[in-house]
Chains A and B, each alone.
Chain A
């Protein structure tokens, strides 16, 4: 059981009072089913107002909001909200209900049977990594901040809503917990895709979470683009400034090693006769990198790097003393790969598959090329 619906905002305007400036002005935006749209901008840009118009906590002055093609105005607000998950920064768990009571709120409102609610609560607690035996009966005051927000997330998912609204959901917790909550959310989202509108003021969070980012300023949509595109080609100085001078670095998180072109590994088998290695170099079968070759074992697992000069002085390459650091995985982001290179003070790193066999080599130049390639709009997501 899972669902996600397209969300469409059509020329939505919210004005408080007759004369005042619009909090949200002529906002048109489509979030395809199952995608995460992050609304971002400086405080007062209208991002939270835009979010709250979707579940009618705020009524638009003009315009139309459609979920799966149906206007939200056709629905009674309370009924609509039961089908739109809502997560807020301060969590807002009901302090007088247990964790199970909180998570079961929307199913109860929807009139589910008791046994079905209990099963759903269990399922969701397991999904968010809280043992139902231990946590179902606790009160919110007995949970840490991170656990509370997890329960808030489970509560919003309980009715299996096609659309989720998240208003700075991870801003009130410490950075480590925030990172973990973000990762958990992405994992959940892959398992149970929902159409998500996510308000954030943190561009790093936006880049990490979003399929699309909507940058707002003074109630207007300035740019709506995929993260890579936003980082690569901000439409104006405001967006460029907002995404930051280090936007090239930020885009490193968007691409994984498996998505970029790697160098062919110049492999020499451990124990292989020196002349055989030299012959392969001469024939152009392998090309040493920075004058080095990668010594691998019989299975193709990297043992270490060795220079050609060193190779000359030895009968056959043995296990090099330095080892083969760093070893990189295809699923690593370019950011993590670059970080590993810097940490190990290496110019190049071997990329290995799940059996530890070398499938390629990457250096700073390949990472840079990968970022530019992503920026040029070559699809980066599988």
Chain B
């Protein structure tokens, strides 16, 4: 097993930092855009069998495209750089986000919705004050999965000039006769980033859903 050369890491601290930041931007921008697109789709297809099947079918198909091929497909449309990278990551995130939003909305008990309508909440108020808050745990689960997988997939963005930790792994490592140190550095950074983001999102979810921890066993 090749050995990690710590002095390389020390010499390239700044680059590691830059690439990590780029990576973080790729991941967070694409997840944010994905959420913005997926939640309305999830709302639109909720409880309607054919639209739901269509939405999950199409986003599922996107999800199965190998990442190398996906970025290659996007190249002629968006050129090289951050844009095609973000677009690709958004397309990958849609399946998890749309499906979890729709499933989360469908899991809202019918009695709760009926009582809400019966109390005089308008359809919009039912959506914003009842459906979405109650679907939040499922939506957050989708966001966590989408984020973690985006951290992994984003390492391929280097191939279309998207930057990120893929630069360490590919340009600094693989292309330099498998120079081991930057490959390990990129991989470790990505793993740590995935774990940290996941924990952050768990924290956000707990803050937003204090009721989910309330259990009957208080007394």
A residues with CB within 8 A of B:
55, 57, 78-83, 86, 88-98, 105-106, 109, 138-139, 141-143, 152, 155-156, 165
Contact = CB atoms under 8 A, between A and B. Distances in A.
Contact of B111 (A83, A90, A97, A155): A90
B215 interface: yes
A95 B116 CA distance: 12
A96 B115 contact: no
B112 A79 contact: no
Contacts of B130: 94
A82 B116 CA distance: 10
Contacts of A152: 115
B6 interface: no
Interface stretch (B89-97, B118-126, B183-191, B193-201): B118-126
Interface in B128-177: 130, 133-134
Contacts of A93: 112, 115
B211 A92 contact: no
Nearest to B113: A92
Given A88-B111, A141-B214, A142-B215, A94 B116 contact: yes
B209 to A, nearest CB: 7
A86 B119 contact: yes
A96 B216 CA distance: 14
Chain B contact residues: over half helix, strand or loop, or mixed? helix
A96 B114 contact: no
Given A93-B112, A94-B112, A141-B216, A57 B118 contact: yes
Contacts of B218: 138, 142
Contact of B119 (A90, A138, A155): A155
A88 B214 contact: no
B120 A79 contact: yes
A83 to B, nearest CB: 8
Contacts of A79: 120
B121 to A, nearest CB: 7
A91 B115 contact: yes
Interface of B: 109, 111-122, 125, 130, 133-134, 209, 211-212, 214-216, 218
Given A92-B112, A95-B134, A141-B211, A106 B119 contact: yes
A92 B109 contact: yes
B117 A57 contact: yes
Given A96-B134, A138-B218, A109 B120 contact: yes
A86 B115 contact: yes
A191 to B, nearest CB: 22
Contacts of B120: 78-83, 106, 109
A105 B119 contact: yes
Contacts of A57: 114, 117-118
Contact of A88 (B114, B122, B215, B216): B114
Given A81-B117, A94-B116, 13 more contacts: A57-B117, A81-B118, A81-B119, A88-B111, A90-B111, A92-B112, A92-B114, A92-B118, A95-B211, A96-B133, A139-B214, A141-B215, A156-B119
Given A81-B120, A106-B119, A92 B111 contact: yes
Given A92-B114, A138-B218, A142-B216, A97 B211 contact: yes
A88 B115 contact: yes
B214 A90 contact: no
Nearest to B217: A142
Nearest to B122: A78
Contacts of A88: 111, 114-115, 118
Contacts of B119: 81-82, 86, 105-106, 109, 155-156
A91 to B, nearest CB: 7
Contacts of B109: 90, 92, 95
A144 to B, nearest CB: 8
Contacts of A91: 111, 115
A180 B214 CA distance: 26
A38 B147 CA distance: 55
Given A139-B214, A141-B211, A92 B122 contact: no
Contacts of B111: 88-92
A248 B118 CA distance: 38
A155 B120 CA distance: 12
A138 B216 CA distance: 10
A52 to B, nearest CB: 8
A196 to B, nearest CB: 15
A89 B121 CA distance: 19
A83 B212 CA distance: 31
17 contacts: A78-B125, A82-B120, A86-B118, A91-B111, A92-B109, A92-B111, A93-B115, A94-B130, A95-B134, A96-B134, A96-B212, A97-B211, A105-B119, A109-B121, A109-B125, A141-B215, A141-B216
Contacts of B214: 138-139, 141-142
